[in-house]
Structure 1
Amino acid sequence: MTQYTCFKAYDIRGKLGTELNEEIAYRIGRAYGQIYQPKTIVVGCDVRLTSESLKQATIQGLNDAGVNVLDLGLTGTEEVYFGAFHLDVQGGIEITASHNPMDYNGMKLVRENARPIGADSGLKEIQALAESGDFNEVQTKGTTKLYNILPEYIEHLLTYIDPAKIRPMKLVMNAGNGAAGHVVTALEAKFKALNIPVELIKIHNEPDGNFPNGIPNPILIENRSMTSDAVMAHQADAGIAWDGDFDRCFLFDEKGQFIEGYYIVGLLAQAFLLKQSGEKIVHDPRLVWNTFDIVNEYQGIAVQSQSGHSFIKEKMREHNAVYGGEMSAHHYFRDFSYCDSGMIPWLLAISVMSETQQSLSSLVENMIAKFPCSGEINFKVENTQQTIQKIMDHFAHQNPIINKTDGISLDFGNWRLNVRASNTEPLLRLNIESRTDKNPKPMQDYVGELTKIIMS
C-alpha cells in the first residue's frame, strides 16, 4: 500500500508531484467526507499556482463522498476557519503551503466550529483511508456552490475595534503577494466608509503565486527590510507583514524595527485585560517572563500550553481563555472560535495605540528592556534528543528549575532557556531570555555559550 509522506503533526504538506498531487488531494477529500460525513463544508485556497487545481481535486473527492461544498475561492486560512464556525457547515479545508518553498503545497483541515484536525485528532485516520483507497460508494453525490465569505468576515473583524476611538495613523501593509491582499483592500474600503482615519500604504498587495518578491515569510530576517524600509520612507506609524496564508502577522514599529512575536503576546494580553480583568491568557513555554509580568500587572491569569496550534486551541477551550499567543506570531482568539488570525492582532494593536495615545515602540520598549530575548535560533543537529541531554548535563551543577511542558526549559533565576525539537522540520529550536533587573550578562554571551555546547 502507498505511504503518503505529506501528513504532518498538524496539517498536510509536501513536495508537489511526488508527495502531493491531484490524485492524493482527491483521496484526502474523499477520506475526509467518508470519515466525518458532514452535510456541507467550506473549502478555500491560497495564491500558489497549484492551489486551485488541488482545491478542485479535493472538492471532487468530497462531492464523491456525498459532501456539499461551499467554494470560498482565494482565501487565507482564517477565512476558512471563519466560514467553518460562522456558517451552517460542519468543517473546512484550506489548500495552502503557507511559507514553504515554491515547489510545495498542503492543506489545513478543521471540523465543525473550526476544531483542528491533527495527528492525534483524526488526521491519521484520514491518512490511512486515503492510502488504502477503501472508499464506499454513495447514493447521492454532493454539490458545489461558490460562496463569497469576505463581507461577513470583514464585519466580524471590525467587532475587535471601536471605530470612533481610532486615532489618525498611517500603516504600511505588506501582503507579500500572498492571500492577505484582498482583505487589506476590503478593510481599506470599510475604513473609508466608516470614516476611520487610518491610511493604508499597500505594498506587494497583488496576489501572485510566482512570488516575485520572494516567499512571504517575515520570520526570516532577510525578508523584513521591504516592510521596514517602507515604514521609514512613508513615515508610517507601524508596518504589518504576513506569511502566505496570513494566519501569522508580524509588526514593525514607527522606526521600522521588527518586534519579536513574544512582546506582541504581551501587548495583546494587555489589550484584552484592559477591557476585562480576570480573564485567562494562554501562552507557549518558549519565552514566558514578559507574559507573566503583563498578565499579573493587568490582573489576568496566565495558563501555559505546549506549542502548536492544536494544543493551544485545546487549552484555550478547556480554560475558556480570551486570548492565546505564541512567540512564533500565531495569535488565537476566543471570539474567533479559538482559532488563530493574522488580521485581528494588528487591529487590536492600533486600538491600544489609539486608546493609550502611545506609539508602538513606546508600548513595547519597557517589555524589551526588562526581558531581553534571543529570538528563536535554529540549529541543524544529528540527534535532537542527545543534544538536549548534553545541554541538561552541562547546566546540571547550577540546579536550574526544569520544566518539560515542551522540550526542556531551564530557569536560572536571572535567565532561562527553552530548547525543543521542531515538529515540522529537522531542527533544534533555542530561545533564551533574561531579566535586566537581576543584572545578567549581555544576551550574546548566553547565545555564544549555548551555540558552543550545541555545535560541539
Structure 2
Amino acid sequence: MTINPQIFKSYDVRGVYPADFNEEIAKKIVKAYIKLYKPQKVVLGRDVRESGESLHQVSLASFLEAGVDVIDIGIVSTDMFYFAVGQLPVDGGITISASHNPREWNGMNFCKKGAEPISSETGLFDIRDLVIKNDVNVESENKGSVEKKDISEDFLRRVASFIDLTLNPLLPQNRKEFLDLLRSEKADLGVSWDGDGDRCFFADETATFIEGYFITALLATEVLKKHPGAKIIIDPRLVWATQEAIINAGGTPVICKPGMTIIADRMKKERAVFGGEMSSHFYFKENYNRDNGMIPLFLILEMLSKYNTTLSQLVAPYTSKYFISGELNFETE
C-alpha cells in the first residue's frame, strides 16, 4: 500500500477519505502510535463525520489486538477529547477528526498522558516514519479491554467551574445566516462554533461579528483579575489591542508563533494562564493548556451579567481604536 506522507501535518493527520486516509492507514497509524509510546490504556473518540464510524471501529480493534485497554468516549468535540485524556487515568489518546476540513476529509489528533500534544516536532513524524516503513508490529498475546464512557456531564461541570455559578466562524460567507438570525431575534448575544467545537465566535447585540483578536483582549483582562500579574500568550499577527489590554490589566504579554501544539507547549513552558489566537482558538491553563470552545462563552456571559453591559460596550475600547482587515490568504505556486 502506498501512503501519502503529506497527510502527516504539523499537528495532526488529515487526508481525503478514502483516497489518502482510510481504514488500513488508520490501523497502521494506531499501531505506530502504540509502538512508539507503549500505552497501557488510552482514550478513543471521534467527530461526526460519516467515515468516522468505520475508522473508529478499526482503531478500537487495533488497540485491543495490541493488548491496550481503551476508554471509548464516542462522538465528542476536540476539547472534550483533550479533557478526557487529561482527566482520566490513561497514557494518551486518539480522536478521529479532520477539524474544520470539508466533510470528505478525515484524520487523527493525538495526545500523550495529561493531554500533552503530539506534533511534528514531538513525535508525529516518528509515527509517520514507522507507518511508511511498515514497522508497526505490535502483536500481543493478551487482548485489551474496552470501556464505553459518556464524559459529557463531567466535561460540562469542568467548563462551568471556570466561572462563579449561583445555581452556565472565521469565513465571512459562513456568517450570514447566523447574523441574520441574530438580527431577526433581536438577541443580546450571538455565539457559534466551528465543525469540531474547539473554536468559539461571537457577535454583539447589533449583529456585528467580533474578531477573535478583540475577544482575546477582552478575555485576557478578565482572566487577569483572577490571576494577577500572570503571563498571557498572544498571536504575533495582531498585537496592539492584546498587548495594551494585558499590560493595562497588570499582566505580561508573551508573543508566540500560532498553532495549537506550539501554543500549548509555550503555555506550559511560560506557566501562562491564558492564550488566544486571531483564529478564535482560546487556551486555558486549567484546561491542560489546550484550547476550548465552551469556556469563552461562559466567561463572556459572566461578564455581561456582572457588569450589566453589552458585548459591543465591552470591546469598544479596542474596536474603536484598532483596525483589523481580517485574515488575508494568498495562493502561490
- Same fold? TM cut 0.5: yes
Identity %, equivalent residues: 41
Match of 1:144 in 2: 146
* Cα displacement (A) at 1:381: 2.2
* Cα displacement (A) at 1:261: 0.7
* Cα displacement (A) at 1:65: 2.2
* Cα displacement (A) at 1:126: 1.0
Match of 1:41 in 2: 42
- How many pairs are equivalent? 331
Match of 1:304 in 2: 255
Instruction: Provide the secondary structure at the position in 2 that maps to 1:163.
Output: coil
Give deviations 1:140-161, integer Å, cap 9, x for gaps: 1212221111111111011111
Contact 2:273 / 2:284 at 8 angstroms: preserved in 1? yes
What amino acid maps onto 1:380 in structure 2? E
Structure 1 CA distance for aligned equivalents of residues 278 and 31 of structure 2: 36
* Cα displacement (A) at 1:54: 0.8
What amino acid maps onto 2:25 in structure 1? I
Instruction: Provide the secondary structure at the position in 2 that maps to 1:266.
Output: helix
Give deviations 1:350-384, integer Å, cap 9, x for gaps: 111222221001111220111111111111123xx
Give deviations 1:157-213, integer Å, cap 9, x for gaps: 11111123xxxxxxxxxxxxxxxxxxxxxxxxxxxxx3x6xxxxxxxxxxxxxxxxx
1:393-408 alignment, distance < 5 Å: none
Contact 1:2 / 1:132 at 8 angstroms: preserved in 2? no
Structure 2 CA distance for aligned equivalents of residues 141 and 133 of structure 1: 22
Match of 2:164 in 1: 162
Instruction: Provide the secondary structure at the position in 1 that maps to 2:209.
Output: coil
Contact 2:3 / 2:20 at 8 angstroms: preserved in 1? no
Contact 2:227 / 2:273 at 8 angstroms: preserved in 1? no
* Cα displacement (A) at 1:64: 2.1
Match of 2:2 in 1: 2
Give deviations 1:76-116, integer Å, cap 9, x for gaps: 01111001010111112111112211211111111111111
RMSD: 1.3
Give deviations 1:381-427, integer Å, cap 9, x for gaps: 23xxxxxxxxxxxxxxxxxxxxxxxxxxxxxxxxxxxxxxxxxxxxx
Contact 1:22 / 1:57 at 8 angstroms: preserved in 2? yes
Structure 1 CA distance for aligned equivalents of residues 260 and 329 of structure 2: 20
Q: 2:238 aligns with which of 264, 284, 287?
A: 287
The reply on whether 1:108 has 2:109 as its aligned counterpart is: yes
* More contact order relative to length (CA 8 Å, sep ≥ 6): 2
Structure 1 CA distance for aligned equivalents of residues 62 and 22 of structure 2: 13
Q: 1:226 aligns with which of 161, 177, 180?
A: 177
Structure 1, unmatched stretches of 5+, are: 165-193, 197-217, 383-456
The reply on whether 1:272 has 2:215 as its aligned counterpart is: no
Structure 2, unmatched stretches of 5+, are: none
TM-score, structure 2 normalization: 0.96
* Cα displacement (A) at 1:219: 1.0
Contact 2:98 / 2:106 at 8 angstroms: preserved in 1? yes
Match of 1:339 in 2: 290
* Cα displacement (A) at 1:133: 2.5
Give deviations 1:267-298, integer Å, cap 9, x for gaps: 11011012232011011200001011001111
The reply on whether 1:128 has 2:129 as its aligned counterpart is: yes
4+ residue runs of structure 1 moved beyond 6 angstroms?
Answer: none
* Cα displacement (A) at 1:18: 1.3
Is the radius of gyration larger for structure 1 or structure 2?
1
Structure 2 CA distance for aligned equivalents of residues 285 and 64 of structure 1: 45
Structure 1 CA distance for aligned equivalents of residues 143 and 126 of structure 2: 22
